[in-house]
């Protein structure tokens, strides 16, 4: 957080192809640090693709090709000499469906920490400390502290999704990417997770994809509207919802398509 760079994520002329299908066209974006930025747009507009390319998890599919650059706090993460493992440590990702690993709650939280601690042995005390800190940050410590050895896949979906956020925190990421983190949750759980995301604001720069207009409106500082792989509009959330500059944005927000 001590980085003076004002932007958490800056992209220049980002193009991305799945095989021969182009999913992103010349995306130029600057996402401010310490804020929540929402990505909205109809299905297939490239918002998830953009989000996933910031973690480079897009590269799991062998046929993805990317040009242009993505800078995270001034460091281009697509330079060839960049260590993918470090990129993913700095840039955590939360998925649409909660996907805790089939391990205990405690082991889920220590998973990323162990990956990045370079084989150094983790003492019990240190482990306990990390688990408590991470669970406290996601407001789960009180309800979860007696259930640390439960299998994470048996928790409720809300707890699972919070755990998926918590397990990113021990390696001190600077950016959290969230791909429709509430779409698998019921309304109460959605509210709880939204509250949590708002709680994390300031400590982390958060980029969140959502289908839910109301969620974008109440739980983000800035809003990006994408359509057909292009960025149409990027302004403060209140401005976008009150006085959208583009007709497409206005039409989408008012539910005329999507």
Partner 1 sequence: MNAPPTHSHDPPEGENLDQLNLAWYVDKVVQWLVFFGGISAIIFIIGIFVFIASQGLGYAVKELDLGEFFFSPLWRPTSEANPTYGALALIAGTASVAGFAMLIAVPFSLGAAIFIAEFATGRTREILKVLVELLAAIPSVVWGFIGLSIMNPLIINTFDVPIGLNILNAGLILGLMAAPIMTTIAEDALKAVPDGYREAAEAMGATRWQVVWRVVLPAGKNGLVAAVLLGVGRAFGETMAVLMATGHSVHIPTSVFDSVRALTATIAAELGETPVGSDHYKVLFTLGIFLFLVTFLINLTADLVVRGKRRNA
Nearer to partner 1, 25 or 95 (CB): 95
Closest distance of CB 84 from partner 1, Å: 7
Rounded Cα gap, residues 181 and 97, in angstroms: 7
Structure tokens at 219: 């739980």
CB-count exposure of residue 17 (10 Å: 0-12, 13-18, 19+): middle
Closest distance of CB 69 from partner 1, Å: 21
Classified as helix, coil or strand, 105 is helix
Nearer to partner 1, 2 or 85 (CB): 85
CB burial of 141-153 (b: ≥16 within 10 Å; e: otherwise) equals beebeebbeeebe
Nearer to partner 1, 57 or 193 (CB): 57
Closest distance of CB 151 from partner 1, Å: 8
How many Cβ atoms sit within 10 Å of the Cβ of residue 130? Answer: 18
Nearer to partner 1, 116 or 234 (CB): 116
Rounded Cα gap, residues 195 and 36, in angstroms: 12
Q: Which single residue is written with the structure tokens 């220049």?
A: 12
Closest distance of CB 225 from partner 1, Å: 25
Nearer to partner 1, 94 or 216 (CB): 94
Rounded Cα gap, residues 18 and 145, in angstroms: 43
Nearer to partner 1, 116 or 230 (CB): 116
| Cβ–Cβ < 8 Å for 153, 164 | no
Classified as helix, coil or strand, 185 is coil
Q: Which residues bind partner 1 (CB under 8 A)?
A: 55, 57, 60, 62, 84-89, 92-93, 95, 97, 99-103, 111-112, 114-116, 151, 164, 167-168, 171
Closest distance of CB 91 from partner 1, Å: 9
Closest distance of CB 3 from partner 1, Å: 20
């Amino acid at each position: 957080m001590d980085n003076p760079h004002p932007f958490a994520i800056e992209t220049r002329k980002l193009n991305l192809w799945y095989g021969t299908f182009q999913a992103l066209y010349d995306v130029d974006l600057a996402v401010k640090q310490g804020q929540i930025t929402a990505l909205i747009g109809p299905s297939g507009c490239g918002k998830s693709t953009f989000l996933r390319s910031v973690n480079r998890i897009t590269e799991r599919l062998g046929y993805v090709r990317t040009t242009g650059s993505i800078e995270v706090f001034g460091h281009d993460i697509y330079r060839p000499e960049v260590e993918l493992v470090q990129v993913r440590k700095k840039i955590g990702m939360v998925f649409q469906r909660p996907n805790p690993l089939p391990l205990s709650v405690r082991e889920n939280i220590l998973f990323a920490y162990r990956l990045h601690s370079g084989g150094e042995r983790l003492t019990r005390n240190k482990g306990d400390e990390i688990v408590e800190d991470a669970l406290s940050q996601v407001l789960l410590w009180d309800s979860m502290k007696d259930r640390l050895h439960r299998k994470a896949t048996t928790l409720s979906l809300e707890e699972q999704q919070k755990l998926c956020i918590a397990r990113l925190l021990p390696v001190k990421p600077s950016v959290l990417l969230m791909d429709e983190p509430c779409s698998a949750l019921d309304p109460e759980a959605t509210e709880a997770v939204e509250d949590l995301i708002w709680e994390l604001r300031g400590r982390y720069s958060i980029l969140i994809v959502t289908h839910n207009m109301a969620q974008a409106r109440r739980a983000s500082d800035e809003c990006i509207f994408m359509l057909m792989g292009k960025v149409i509009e990027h302004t403060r959330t209140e401005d976008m919802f009150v006085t959208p500059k583009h007709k497409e944005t206005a039409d989408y927000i008012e539910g005329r398509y999507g």
